[in-house]
Chains A and B, each alone.
Chain A
Amino acid sequence: MLSHLRALEAESIYILREVAAEFARPVMLYSIGKDSSVMLRLAQKAFFPGNIPFPLLHVDTTYKFGEMIRFRDWYPRSIGAELRVHTNRQAIAEGANPIALGTSRCCSLLKTRALLDALAEGGYDAAFGGARRDEEKSRAKERIFSFRDQFGQWDPKNQRPELWSLYNARIDKGQSIRVFPLSNWTELDVWHYIHIENIPVVPLYFAKVREMIVRNDTLIPPEHNVIPLLPGEKPQPVMCRMRSLGCTPCTGAIRSEADTAPKIIEELLRFRRSERENRIIDHDQEGSMELKKREGYF
């Protein structure tokens, strides 16, 4: 492999092994997205020829794309990883969706609350996430080992200093550490690695003709149809792809012809548009990601 990706890979593998050595019950948050796919490959590499010594956890909001769920139920198992799935059943039973509750409250119940419950139920003391520092401003300040109190919350003003590659793994009972092995990767690095390592990802990332609701510049997927259609609106075929994968009501598609990893990289170079742009949640208010992270979101 080539030099700078090899250095990133070596650093991530080091981080994965530190966690496995220092924590009693680690878990890897598995979001089914491209970053999770890379993280999973790095975990395979870190513990080869042994198995990955911790389970994967998917927090399922039930609003994920069908293609994501099919991929989730196939790929981790195919490489011998153990997958656990958690859903906030009560909130779903009470009809939680982003239109009825607003995106902020919906995320809080189906993602943050569900995640914290799942972590508490599993007794996990360390949880890997695939977040990268280049994604968003508040993430640029995230530690690689990020301390969470017994309520799973983040205090950005009181983070542990993190020097060299010496990670402080000490916690008391009930507290936990979120670990971000991909902190220093960029979106381009991730796609480049997927390409040269030939890592399977959900087909939604690749362009093809899909049925979409076209509203101004936004392409809204009709799946899990909770967004009310405006008069005269109906899904129409559009050549498009997903730049990041979330819940169908809150994830827009982008018009694209990129149907291979190299073409996606080419597209990234041409359109320098933040990958989170099509995630509606980040734009609720300035700094909304920081608010969510303080509450326990990844």
Chain B
Amino acid sequence: MLVAETRPSAAVSIEEFLEQEASKELLRLSTAGSVDDGKSTLIGRLLYDAQGIYEDQLAGIRKSKVNRSTGPIDFSLLTDGLRAEREQGITIDVAYRHFSTPKRKFIIADTPGHEQYTRNMATGASTASLAVVLVDARNGVLPQTRRHATISSLLGIPRLVLAVNKMDLAGYSREVFEQIRADFLAFAGGLGFAGMLAIPVSALEGENVARRGTGMPWYDGPSLLEHLETVPVAGRRFDQPLRFAVQYVIRPDQHFRGYAGQVASGAVRKGDPVLVLPGGQRSQVASITTFDGEMARATAPDSVIITLEDERDISRGDMLVHPEALPQIARHFEAHLVWMTDDPLAKGRSLLVKHTTQQVSARVQSIESKLDIHTMVRKPAPVLELNDIGIVRIEASRPLFFDPYRENRSTGSFILIDPLTNGTVGAGMILTAIDRRAAGAGRVTSSERQARNGHTPALLALANPALATRLERRLFDHGCQVMAMENSEAASALRDAGLIVIGSAFEDPRAVDLNLLPLPKDEEAAVDALIAYLEQQGILFTDRFSSGEGI
């Protein structure tokens, strides 16, 4: 993982060296291409030429039984980690590799290129800021090349390198390279990459991998490694609006209540006004606390603890944002989805959405289209099958706070979990809220009111006035539209406006009688039980009232 050039020279003290070392930038990249393109060989060569391979790992490979290449060292065995892969000679899972040069640190997500492993490609691409897509110079741009580029673009990777490999077997021909480059650009030009570069390489011979070779004097661009060392590292997440999802509430005693989380994007300063979602309460940042002392300002991706000026009932899944830069808040949204399990996805399926630190139940309302990975054309489809990529509409049981994935990978991404098998079955990238798109068209509907309020309308009959007051307070503090009152007629009208109304008795047959419930004597415990009941009845969409506190 370390290259010879990073050795401290006699002139530099180890302390100075360490300072340089730690201030290096980190570039995460993913590689896509099939085994036939020589991807594992390319990565092996990159690691080897960067002298990043530990001596004993090399020794282990020399005594390995299979040797798929003709040269003395099979570079691909350095990266294909699992037994099944070594036996079948293909890469079937994502492997993460580290290496370092004097300029940067790198983490490579090495992903398989076969069609049936699209899900692994998406996994590797999800955290990368640069994609290396391989083609075999003898085959040129294939459907799978287009698929790799498309998935890289969908997953929001800003930059792409097209590595035209096996140039040695194509006679190092400039014409071959230029033709492949033109074919690729004709297609990928429309995918929205911030930067694209094509490099002719021979992984086997090491040409243009770490250094420029002698085989292609006509090529005057950088080698792959030179490009990786100098390309801008994407992800200046602190230029974006503040998004801070509460992970965990830290409450060691009555005097301290801190909200632990990672700044997903943007920056937060002591004294900043913040808005708490979904409740909508406003407060001010009292402190940004860490083990190493208080901070005046935290930026993405810092993990910190925020305390607020006011005592607020905030729990895991809530989000702190700046009041003038709100995310989209909606229960209905449209998203790109990579389906990752054998059992096909049809509309109406119930799943769990994990988004930031929230986990909510959801339903797939419709499958809008599916991407044909051979032609790259979207067309209607009744279901999404394993490794399909489609556009779906999803309805969540409570509002999510998000940004389009293109703008914010952290708040725009989600995974789908099958509640029966617990498997991760889908990866989603949010395009937009559907509510917002429909806004302004016609009258406000009851379901729009419910989506905003986080609850259905209800009349709750509760004869104990002290308990009614406590319940009203608790619901209000959680952002519900709620009122305790005794005018039965007015109560029905408020119910039609979407409110929860609490009273001792109602004439309206739609009223829910809470007086019959067996409740604990302690009033706080009784309110907890009532909240749990209202969740169970589907009146409150959220389960954050009774759980998820983390302590």
Contacts and interface: CB of A to CB of B under 8 A. Distances in A.
Nearest to A14: B262
B45 interface: no
A3 B23 CA distance: 5
B424 A162 contact: yes
B291 interface: yes
Given A137-B79, A163-B123, A269-B6, 13 more contacts: A10-B301, A18-B357, A21-B248, A53-B551, A141-B94, A157-B92, A163-B126, A163-B413, A165-B127, A170-B417, A262-B14, A262-B18, A272-B55
B250 A163 contact: no
B303 A46 contact: yes
Interface string B50-65: 0101111100100111
B521 interface: no
Given A46-B303, A137-B81, A269-B6, A7 B26 contact: yes
A140 B63 contact: no
A266 interface: yes
Contacts of A49: 250, 252, 256, 258, 289
B414 interface: yes
A163 B154 CA distance: 13
Interface stretch (A57-65, A67-75, A82-90, A180-188): A180-188
Nearest to A12: B303
A171 interface: yes
For the residues of B in contact with A, the DSSP-based class is: mixed
A14 B244 CA distance: 12
A157 B93 CA distance: 8
Contacts of A195: 18
Contact of A5 (B22, B97, B258, B302): B22
A2 B354 contact: no
- 8 tightest A-B contacts by CB? A2-B22, A137-B81, A13-B303, A170-B422, A274-B54, A45-B291, A163-B126, A48-B291
Contacts of A18: 247, 357
Contact of B96 (A21, A183, A272, A273): A183
A198 B268 CA distance: 29
Contacts of B258: 49
B409 interface: yes
A153 interface: no
Contacts of A187: 1
Given A6-B302, A140-B95, A163 B26 contact: no
A139 B81 CA distance: 8
Interface stretch (B82-90, B134-142, B208-216, B221-229): B82-90
Contacts of B84: 156-157
A77 interface: no
Contacts of A272: 1-2, 51, 53-55
Contacts of B65: 286
Contact of A159 (B21, B26, B57, B93): B93
A231 interface: no
Given A10-B262, A274-B54, A163 B92 contact: no
B8 interface: yes
Interface of B: 1-2, 6-8, 14-15, 18-19, 21-26, 51, 53-57, 60, 63-65, 78-84, 86, 92-98, 100, 105, 107, 119-120, 122-123, 126-127, 247-248, 250-252, 256, 258, 260-262, 289-292, 301-303, 305, 316, 340, 352, 354-355, 357, 409-410, 413-415, 417, 419, 422-424, 427, 548, 550-551
Contact of B93 (A53, A156, A196, A276): A156
Interface in A1-56: 1-7, 9-11, 13-14, 17-18, 20-21, 44-51, 53
Contacts of B422: 168, 170-172
A140 B427 contact: no
Contacts of B119: 161
Given A14-B303, A50-B251, A269-B2, A166 B413 contact: yes
A46 B424 CA distance: 26
Contacts of B550: 20-21
16 contacts: A1-B22, A18-B247, A45-B290, A45-B291, A50-B252, A140-B95, A156-B84, A161-B424, A163-B123, A163-B126, A168-B415, A192-B21, A265-B18, A270-B7, A273-B56, A286-B63
A117 B538 CA distance: 42
B22 A11 contact: no
Nearest to A20: B248
A133 B99 CA distance: 12
A236 B23 CA distance: 43
A138 interface: yes
B252 A51 contact: yes
A105 interface: no
A223 interface: no
A48 B105 contact: no
Nearest to A266: B14
B250 A9 contact: no
Q: How large is the interface on A (under 10, 10 to 19, 20 to 34, 35 or more residues)?
A: 35 or more
Interface string A131-167: 0011001111100000000000000110111111110
Contact of B303 (A10, A157, A160, A265): A10
Contact of B82 (A133, A141, A273): A141
A263 interface: yes
A48 B258 CA distance: 10
A273 to B, nearest CB: 5
A277 B60 CA distance: 10
Contacts of A238: none
B14 A134 contact: no
A140 B97 contact: yes
Contact of A192 (B22, B123, B548): B22
Nearest to B549: A21
Instruction: Give the one of A50, A187, A287 with max B CB within 10 A.
Output: A50
A98 B290 CA distance: 45
A188 B354 contact: no
Instruction: Give the one of A14, A133, A187, A270 with max B CB within 10 A.
Output: A14
A141 B419 CA distance: 25
Nearest to B548: A21
B547 to A, nearest CB: 11
A257 interface: no
B510 to A, nearest CB: 36
A259 interface: no
Nearest to B127: A164
Contacts of A138: 81-82
Contacts of B95: 137, 140-141
A165 B80 CA distance: 24
Nearest to B413: A164
